[in-house]
């Protein structure tokens, strides 16, 4: 059923309202009045059916918890547990009386993220941009000049090696056989972990030839079990559909070579890509590319999207500018990028990058030098936010997580601005 609404208009005899006790100049109290909650409730209520199921949790509660979660970089369980301890968090989420019980189960956030999707979290980011203009963090002219850059959002997977993948693929095949009552001649479930340990010791001792022989042996065990299950499936027509996801994935793993394209680096996240960054401390990162757009002066995030396929940076600029226009309602006039965006093909916007042969005055040179101001913002999103490691599953999880990381960064900027303004007014 459609979500309930929080209604505290009627007073309580033996309880005092939080709005009467808390500091009205606190940043969360001010933000709770700035954000247009009614618009979000009207938009997200349409995603639910009138008659089916139990009434959903209030929209303001869920969205408020998501904002706080990415603002402080907390997990689903941690943000729900801390919610009951902080009255400012409860007032921000629409509760005017103190709550002693947990508001939701942590898995509720997972279901809501799947229901909202990329379009839903984009609406949240768009409302934060409107709220920032009301507070005075950004102005309408700020939306015309932006900085665009890309970074890698690592996925929560272990560093992939052939030995680990073959060992996990073997376990997944054996588990599938047990589930379908397929009797295997040999499972190798006790032998495979021993070989995996032996491989790690051989590589540590720089005996790569012997280690590669053991990897080939482990791959042979996985291939035997795979072909045995495949023969059993060919004799049972009803099993083919249930086995297709597992068998197709492990079949790709067994067939891939060093030169293969679209390789599998994780069985539970097969869409993960290997992105070479060229850095000394971390040459390769496994995840997906994220395009970020921030205002030139304030560093306020006005666009964020996860892009799969590891495209060239110049080919992502058009999508970034279109998303910024869709969220802010303003056409971008100037975009500052690095040399990785050469060949972007954008003609309706003035795209500026270093190394150009155009003659600029000192103001244009100053604006261009500020392009690298986006780098510390990306660092804050990875260190203080949740951009440094994505725990959400699938392609949809990547798209939703990238936008929510931008939302969390904007919340931190808004709170810092309100704090500084309050400090100046009291000084």
Q: Which of 191, 224, 255 is the last residue of a domain?
A: 255
Count other Cβ atoms within 10 Å, centred on residue 159.
8
Whole-model pTM: value is 0.92
Residue ranges of E strands in 114-181: 145-154
Residues 154 and 185 in one domain: no
Handedness of CA 134, 136, 141, 147 (dihedral sign): negative
Q: Which residues contact 198 (CB under 8 A, 6 or more apart)?
A: 214
Give me the pLDDT at residue 231, please: 92
d(CA 177, CA 15): 59
Indicate if 58 and 176 belong to the same structural domain: no
Q: Is residue 286 part of a domain?
A: yes
How far is Cα 82 from Cα 84, in angstroms, rounded to an integer? Answer: 6
Neighbours of 421 (CB within 10 A): 16
Structural domain containing residue 131: 120-158+273-426
1 lies in a domain? no
* 198: nearest Cα among 209, 186, 210, 190: 210
Q: Which helix (H) or strand (E) holds 334?
A: strand 334-336
Using 50 as the pLDDT threshold, list the residues of the chain that sit under it.
none
Q: Are residues 80 and 150 in the same domain?
A: no
- Do 330 and 245 sit in the same domain of this protein? no
Q: List the alpha helices (DSSP H) in 293-352.
A: 317-328
What's residue 15's pLDDT? 85
Query: For the chain, what's the residue count?
Result: 427
Closest by Cα among 317, 315, 292 to 151: 292
Q: What are the backbone dihedrals phi and psi of residue 74, each rounded to the nearest 5 degrees, phi first?
A: -105, 160
Q: Are residue 340 and residue 397 in the same domain, yes or no?
A: yes
d(CA 252, CA 277): 26
CA 187 to chain centroid: 37
Say if residue 295 is in the same domain as residue 388: yes
In this prediction, residue 49 carries a pLDDT of 79
Half-sphere CA count of 163, side-chain side, radius 13 A: 20
Q: Does the residue 3 lie in any domain?
A: no
Instruction: Give the pLDDT of residue 65.
Output: 96
Q: Residue 375 has which token pair?
A: 């780098």
Looking at the fold, whether 223 and 304 belong to one and the same domain comes out as no
Shared-domain flag, residues 301 and 413 = yes
Is residue 13 situated within a structural domain?
no
Nearest to 74 by CA among 89, 59, 60, 87: 89
Report helix, strand or coil for 4.
Answer: coil
Quickly count: other Cβ atoms within 10 Å of residue 93's Cβ: 23
412 in the same domain as 336 = yes
- Is 55 among the domain residues? yes
Q: Is 10 among the domain residues?
A: no
Q: Is 331 left (phi over 0), alpha (psi -120 to 50) or beta?
A: beta
- Whether residue 379 is found in the same domain as residue 288: yes
- Please tell me the total count of domains within the chain: 3
Q: Which of 117, 142, 174 is the last residue of a domain?
A: 117
pLDDT number for residue 52: 76
Alpha helix positions (H), 180-303: 191-204, 208-235, 240-255
Q: Strand 145-154 and strand 334-336: pairing? A: parallel
Whether 234 maps to a domain, the answer reads yes
216-236 burial code (b ≥16 CB/10 A, e <16): eebbebbbbbbebbeebbeee
pLDDT tens-digit map of 234-243: 888 788 889 9
Contact criterion met (CB below 8 Å) for 304 and 291: yes
- Can you give the pLDDT at residue 288? 93
Tell me: do 136 and 284 sit in the same domain.
yes
pLDDT at 357: 66
Residues 25 and 89 in one domain: yes
Helix (H) or strand (E) holding 301, with range, is strand 301-307
């Amino acid at each position: 059923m459609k979500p309930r609404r929080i209604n505290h208009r009627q007073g309580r005899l033996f309880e005092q309202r939080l709005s009467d006790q808390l500091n009205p100049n606190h940043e969360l109290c001010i933000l709770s009045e700035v954000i247009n909650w009614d618009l979000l409730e009207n938009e997200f209520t349409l995603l639910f059916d009138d008659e089916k199921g139990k009434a959903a949790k209030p929209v303001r509660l869920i969205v408020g918890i998501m904002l706080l979660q990415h603002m402080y970089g907390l997990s689903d369980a941690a943000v729900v547990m801390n919610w009951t301890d902080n009255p400012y968090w409860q007032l921000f989420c629409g509760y005017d009386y103190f709550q002693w019980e947990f508001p939701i189960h942590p898995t509720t956030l997972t279901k809501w993220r799947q229901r909202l999707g990329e379009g839903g979290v984009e609406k949240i980011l768009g409302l934060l941009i409107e709220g920032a203009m009301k507070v005075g963090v950004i102005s309408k002219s700020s939306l015309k000049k932006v900085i665009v850059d890309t970074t890698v959002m690592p996925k929560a997977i272990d560093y992939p090696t052939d030995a680990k993948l073959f060992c996990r693929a073997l376990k997944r095949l054996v588990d599938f056989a047990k589930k379908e009552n397929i009797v295997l001649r040999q499972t190798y479930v006790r032998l495979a972990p021993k070989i995996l340990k032996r491989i790690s010791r051989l590589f540590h001792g720089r005996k790569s030839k012997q280690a590669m022989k053991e990897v080939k042996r482990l791959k042979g065990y996985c291939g035997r079990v795979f072909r045995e299950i495949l023969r059993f499936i060919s004799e049972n027509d009803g099993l083919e559909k249930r086995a297709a996801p597992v068998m197709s994935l492990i079949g790709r793993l067994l067939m891939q070579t060093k030169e293969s394209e679209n390789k599998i680096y994780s069985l539970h996240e097969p869409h993960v890509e290997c992105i070479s960054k060229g850095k000394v401390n971390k040459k390769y990162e496994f995840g997906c590319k994220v395009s970020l757009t921030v205002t030139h002066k304030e560093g306020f995030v006005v666009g964020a999207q996860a892009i799969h396929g590891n495209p060239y940076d110049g080919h992502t600029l058009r999508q970034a500018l279109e998303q910024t226009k869709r969220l802010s309602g303003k056409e971008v006039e100037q975009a500052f990028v690095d040399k990785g965006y050469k060949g972007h093909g954008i003609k309706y916007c003035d795209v500026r990058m270093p190394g150009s042969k155009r003659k600029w005055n000192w103001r244009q040179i100053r604006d261009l030098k500020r392009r690298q101001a986006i780098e510390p913002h990306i660092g804050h999103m990875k260190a203080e936010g949740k951009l440094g490691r994505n725990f959400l599953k699938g392609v949809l999880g990547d798209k939703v997580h990238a936008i929510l990381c931008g939302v969390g960064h904007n919340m931190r900027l808004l709170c810092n601005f309100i704090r500084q303004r309050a400090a100046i007014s009291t000084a």
